[in-house]
Structure 1
Amino acid sequence: MFDSLKEYSSNLTNFNHTLLHRGYCVSSRCQSSEKNATLRFERCVQDRTQRLSMNATLKILKYCRTSKQAKKFEDNKLPYIIFGVVVGVLLVLNVVGTAYTEFVGNKKNSILGCWSVKENWCRLVRTYDDSDPVRDALSPIQGARVLLLVLVIIGHVIEINYKTYITNPIFFETAQKNPMSIFFKNGSSIVQAFVVISNFLFAYMLLAYSQKKKVSISMLPLSILYRIVRISPVYLLMLGFKASWWRLAGDGPLWSDLVIPESDVCRKKFWLHAFFVHNLIEPEKYCMLQSWFLAVDVQLHIIACFLTLILINNRRRAIYVIGSLFVASCFLNSGLAYIYDWKSLMYLLSPEMMRNTFEGVSSFWYFYTTPWGSLPACLLGLFVAHLHLYAKEQGYHITNTKWLVHLYNIAVPICLAWVLSGHIISSWTTRISMATYIGIERPMFSAISALLLYGSTDKLDNWFRRWMAWSGWQVPARLSLCVLVLHRAINTQLVAVQTAAVTTSVFAIAIYVIQTTFTSYLLAIPMMMLVELPIQRTFVAYITRGKHDE
């Protein structure tokens, strides 16, 4: 029997069935007078395996609690106090700012006016028509941000469900063999579209600004500071919550396994997160797993600022320099992948890897979540922004090149075809072929995103652009940052409060996706109005010395 288990488990699409992943209510399942809880649990499992003439030894005990060990405040109350004070200050500022604006007006003190809940609500729900040519050109980006974020939520919902105690592990094992699972295995690089969009928007707006006012390298510190202020408030607020009150926000058999350890890491690595270097120092110890993207965004933004500011006065040279750096970055990642034997996530997304959150998998922690892994996407975003403005200055329009128009129109099918090509590429298992694929996988997604971005901003009309440019996307798109930092905590909590083994299915996962998405966007509204918008506006008002941010 054990040989059969080993043979079955040797297929990476299956769980490791030689390792029992169990959660037992020991008091009701195995009556014992043993006082040591660890021994009681081990003997409880042994009682059941010995019926099959097999022996089980305890490999790791993740948690053990009795019903009498209720959650309570720890001796160290400082994290709870600090977070409570921060939230209290934010609420007071919003109350004072709202009252001041209502009774006095914000003309005398624009800083207080930034904290008006009423004004921030109006900014949140405001939509724009196509009268502004710049906003109209960028309008499809709003829909793309919402669509991509929902896909990220779906991926994280599936991933967290691998960590639960499930009654039907064969569901995930069968799903791994389903040809459609390639969209999950080979689609993770779609997050690179966010990197392309982020750096394109920065360069696009800065280049447009440079046509009106003088821009120099002296703007580098302010540009970097603005990005940090853009991200930090909601990010650090959520980090503080996870390090403190999140521990008391629920309970269940899995709470000590999924919530408490992550909360401990949030405390230990708080300042590494605050300075956006947590993905470079002990990356395997994660808090807010999705926050690697925020760290990478800031790290790459520094590079993007520097390149854009030093090349801003010579568009043609900028295209050649950035294009050359893009090619070099692809070769760099291929070379590193060959040296360190990194693999694409397509080769790694096995049930056991998902259940253990890529424990010991250097390909994930030292490539996927690093700035050099996303550097090609950053450079491609800058390249498209410079190319777009240069073409505009030369009087060139994308419709002048018919093959490019046809390529733009089939970009979405090309993206799907690239994902499906994983069925063929997954058979390339030599070290050099996997290293080559690492060098082109993310850049390919980035190139497709860049093509769609270029055509959309050049107002090349098709069904995809019309759908992404729908005005209804504008409000949820503004909530994207808040949803990004919120959704995984919500999803983890939904799973961690389960009191029994669950039966998973497509329907059950769909319910989790709906619950997580709805709750994330719902909670993102007050976070946006009370934290993100007022702090951003305060920063801009201070920099512009009292002038309103338009």
Structure 2
Amino acid sequence: MKIYLLLFLLVSCASAILEKECLQRVENVKTIGAKCSDQLKVLCQRHDILFTFWDASSRFLRTGLTYTSPQDMGNYDECMKVDELVGETNILGKFCLFQWGTQVPKKGLEELVAGMEIYPHLKEAETFIEGKLEGNITTADSENILLTGSVCISDGCSPEEFNEVFKTHLYPVIPLNKFDCVTKNSNRDLTTPELIGTICLAVVVLTMVSCTIIHIVYHYNNIGEINDFVKGFSAFYNGTKLISISTDNVNQIHCMDGLRFISILWIIAGHGYVTYVQKPLYNNSVTEEWKSHLYSQYIQAAIFAVDTFFFLSGFLLTYGYLKKVNNKTVGQQITVIPLNILLRYLRLTPAVGAMFLLSVSSLKLLGDGPLWDMMMDMVHANCNKYWWRFFLYFQNFYPDDLCYTQTWYLSADMQMFVFAPLVLIPITILIKDKLPLVMTGLITLTVFFVGITIAIPYIFTDYSNEYNTHSRVSSYLVGMIGGVIFHRNRGKVIKINRIVNLILWVITFAVMMFLVLYHQEVTQYPTKLKSTLFGAIYEPIWCTCILWIVFSCYHGYGGIVNWFLSNGLCQIGARLSYCLYVLHTMVIIYSIATTRTLSYFSDYVMINTVGGYVNTSILLSIFWTLTFEGPVIMFNKKLFQWIGSPKEERKTTKELYEEI
């Protein structure tokens, strides 16, 4: 009993001594604010909270120091759990991401580890480590390990104030102060614009739910036909169209559904990889080695899928245009160009506009994590500042200021659509009697834009916009060539010798495989000449291969490839492809922003991760399609009724341009 009493007295005395020393430290530092000083005096009496702050902060020596990512995120959730009322002082945990940095000499690392064992006492270890690291903090070279760490502190203090009192680092560090600190109450209030955006989204969703219920009631009770407004917003009506499968419609080119769906999946995989390897990784050094392998192109070559989309866009526009403007004069075609552009704008904007509103309004309330605020700020900064570029579809001219990087494609595609009549109208004049001239003109234009793409980097040596429009026009023009070919052969039976067909398929796959594999050579060992030539030339070649696949499949020579590309699942996936493209980056950003600790990179992990991105994006895209895309058709119909043109002329315009 006496021994326990003695131990109790020793612990009590030690605690009192430590508390007195702690209070003395706070009193001695005159540069801290009043709120921080009050909290620190309270913390001197609560060593358990101080330990939590220390335990949730980044360490200097940890496993895999020379192998893992140099960024350490601490323990966000442990820090956020601190919410203590001590007397009249409330203390919250405040997490500060990447607030300090240091450099460790690789050659001295073993000495540092040994020193921590030899000098177990705080002051001796501190002196030893400072001696080993002195002079290396600001020297950046390959012999140093560059580290950045995060800290957990009380909400009334800054990292500098907290460290000034408690000397939380046993080694010299550089304060970074790159990111703001957060508590569990940070960024949880909506500003007036954010609240308005959230309300707008909620109104649309409630309208969809209400119209769906009304439609279901009408349908199953045989009450009668509902009006177009209810039908347009009804998820029941739009969902039926979404899952409908067409098998015998000769006017549809079903293999394009598979190309569109596979392309968007490839794009999701590519964007998923690019963002995943930017996270702090347990095996950070492995990613560079992985990129050097040819087989890694199954993800890294996803850029080719973007050119497939440009090809499909140019093809469908031309094929549909030529089919609908038969026997229309040049004047009639010119007259409806503004309306055509308006319809295109209305077709694209609702879904991407809803994504924009969600991103800049209530998205910040839907998650948290050590990277959350940094990622949300990254999204909000350009979207809030340059929203007008976003909605006018020309933000790809400003590659450093993009609101959601993937939407550069929408800007480039809209710009090509706007200028497409400059090519389409001459085609309608010449196609009947001068088809060779039409084809020669399109091929010449393609070669011209390939030349422009090659020349610009040499004319403007500092030009580096990878999201420009001119370099993608060649893919669009190959699609237009395909549209002309299909239009002239519409309704005809095309005979292709089986041997010739097989040879062309082999050549097509060989060329596509070569382009994919050579892309690895260009990215791993880049030169200006190699990158410029390959970037300009591969696009029309790739799209020509896609054109052959479409042509052969449509005319019955695609075999198992056509069966795969034309199946019902691909038809449904193709209808979701636009919303998938719009939304998948937000899904990826959400996943990255909620990361808590180091991640592991491998092919299996990437496939598993991309599968999660795809599944989540599909579910979200179904909702987005039913809520924001479906009603677009109804709005377009109402637009024609609103236009004050003569009835007969309005009918003609509708027939001409009712969604190509």
> Which of these residues, 376, 385, 397, is aligned with residue 483 of structure 2?
385
- Cα distance, 1:88 vs structure 2: 0.9
Asked whether the equivalents of residues 204 and 385 of structure 1 are also in contact (C-alpha less than 8 Å), the reply is yes
> Which of these residues, 438, 443, 458, is aligned with residue 338 of structure 1?
458
Asked whether the equivalents of residues 338 and 431 of structure 1 are also in contact (C-alpha less than 8 Å), the reply is no
Q: Which residue of 2 aligns with 1:234?
A: 351
Q: Which residue of 1 aligns with 2:508?
A: 411
Task: Compute the RMSD of aligned alpha carbons.
Answer: 3.6
Tell me whether 1:119 sits opposite 2:234 in the alignment.
Answer: no
- Deviates further, 418-427 or 118-127: 418-427
- Cα distance, 1:420 vs structure 2: 1.5
Q: 1:59 and 1:513 mapped to 2: Cα distance?
A: 36
Q: Which residue of 2 aligns with 1:245?
A: 362
One-letter amino acid matched to 1:311: I
Q: Structure 2 vs 1, CA of residues 386 and 250 (structure 1 numbering), >3 Å: closer, same or farther?
A: same
> Which of these residues, 251, 263, 266, is aligned with residue 383 of structure 2?
266
Secondary structure of the equivalent of 2:537?
A: helix
- Cα distance, 1:205 vs structure 2: 1.4
- TM alignment of 1:184-195, pairs within 5 A: 184-195=299-310
Q: Structure 2 vs 1, CA of residues 176 and 405 (structure 1 numbering), >3 Å: closer, same or farther?
A: closer
> Which of these residues, 211, 214, 228, is aligned with residue 99 of structure 1?
214
One-letter amino acid matched to 1:202: L
> Which of these residues, 133, 138, 143, is aligned with residue 250 of structure 2?
133
Q: How many residues align?
A: 501
Q: Structure 2 vs 1, CA of residues 336 and 26 (structure 1 numbering), >3 Å: closer, same or farther?
A: same
- Deviates further, 405-414 or 164-173: 405-414
Q: 1:431 and 1:178 mapped to 2: Cα distance?
A: 22
Q: Which residue of 2 aligns with 1:83?
A: 198
Q: Which residue of 2 aligns with 1:313?
A: 429
Q: Which residue of 1 aligns with 2:565?
A: 468
Q: Which residue of 2 aligns with 1:356?
A: none
Tell me whether 1:291 sits opposite 2:349 in the alignment.
Answer: no
Which has the larger strand fraction? 2
> Which of these residues, 331, 339, 342, is aligned with residue 222 of structure 1?
339
Q: Structure 2 vs 1, CA of residues 416 and 270 (structure 1 numbering), >3 Å: closer, same or farther?
A: same
Q: 1:121 and 1:172 mapped to 2: Cα distance?
A: 42
Q: Structure 2 vs 1, CA of residues 331 and 89 (structure 1 numbering), >3 Å: closer, same or farther?
A: same
> Which of these residues, 421, 433, 437, is aligned with residue 534 of structure 2?
437
Residues 347-388 of structure 1: CA deviation (Å, up to 9, x unaligned)? xxxxxxxxxxxxxxx53xx1x311112110111111111122
- Cα distance, 1:112 vs structure 2: 3.9
TM-score by length of 1: 0.81
One-letter amino acid matched to 2:382: V
Q: Structure 2 vs 1, CA of residues 20 and 101 (structure 1 numbering), >3 Å: closer, same or farther?
A: closer
- Cα distance, 1:516 vs structure 2: 0.9
Q: 2:532 and 2:512 mapped to 1: Cα distance?
A: 21
Q: Which residue of 2 aligns with 1:110?
A: 228
Q: Structure 2 vs 1, CA of residues 516 and 184 (structure 1 numbering), >3 Å: closer, same or farther?
A: closer
- Deviates further, 80-89 or 324-333: 80-89
What are the ranges of 5 or more consecutive residues in structure 1 without an aligned counterpart?
1-15, 30-35, 343-361
Asked whether the equivalents of residues 247 and 263 of structure 1 are also in contact (C-alpha less than 8 Å), the reply is no
Q: Structure 2 vs 1, CA of residues 80 and 512 (structure 1 numbering), >3 Å: closer, same or farther?
A: farther
Q: Which residue of 2 aligns with 1:55?
A: 137
Q: Structure 2 vs 1, CA of residues 436 and 114 (structure 1 numbering), >3 Å: closer, same or farther?
A: same
What are the ranges of 5 or more consecutive residues in structure 2 without an aligned counterpart?
1-65, 80-93, 105-125, 139-172, 642-649
Secondary structure of the equivalent of 2:200?
A: helix
Q: 2:584 and 2:360 mapped to 1: Cα distance?
A: 16
**Higher normalized contact order (CA 8 Å, seq sep 6+, divided by chain length):** 1
> Which of these residues, 323, 332, 335, is aligned with residue 208 of structure 1?
323
Q: Structure 2 vs 1, CA of residues 216 and 408 (structure 1 numbering), >3 Å: closer, same or farther?
A: farther
Q: 1:437 and 1:242 mapped to 2: Cα distance?
A: 36
Q: 2:513 and 2:376 mapped to 1: Cα distance?
A: 35
Asked whether the equivalents of residues 224 and 305 of structure 1 are also in contact (C-alpha less than 8 Å), the reply is no
Asked whether the equivalents of residues 70 and 280 of structure 2 are also in contact (C-alpha less than 8 Å), the reply is no
Secondary structure of the equivalent of 2:99?
A: helix
Q: 2:76 and 2:336 mapped to 1: Cα distance?
A: 63
- Cα distance, 1:495 vs structure 2: 1.6
Q: Which residue of 2 aligns with 1:13?
A: none
One-letter amino acid matched to 2:604: F
- Cα distance, 1:52 vs structure 2: 5.4
Asked whether the equivalents of residues 246 and 263 of structure 1 are also in contact (C-alpha less than 8 Å), the reply is no
Asked whether the equivalents of residues 114 and 534 of structure 1 are also in contact (C-alpha less than 8 Å), the reply is yes
- Cα distance, 1:414 vs structure 2: 2.5
Higher gyration radius (CA): 2
Asked whether the equivalents of residues 100 and 175 of structure 2 are also in contact (C-alpha less than 8 Å), the reply is no
Q: 1:297 and 1:72 mapped to 2: Cα distance?
A: 37
- Deviates further, 384-393 or 266-275: 384-393
Asked whether the equivalents of residues 254 and 566 of structure 2 are also in contact (C-alpha less than 8 Å), the reply is yes
Q: Which residue of 1 aligns with 2:40?
A: none
One-letter amino acid matched to 1:227: R
- Cα distance, 1:125 vs structure 2: 1.2
TM-score by length of 2: 0.68
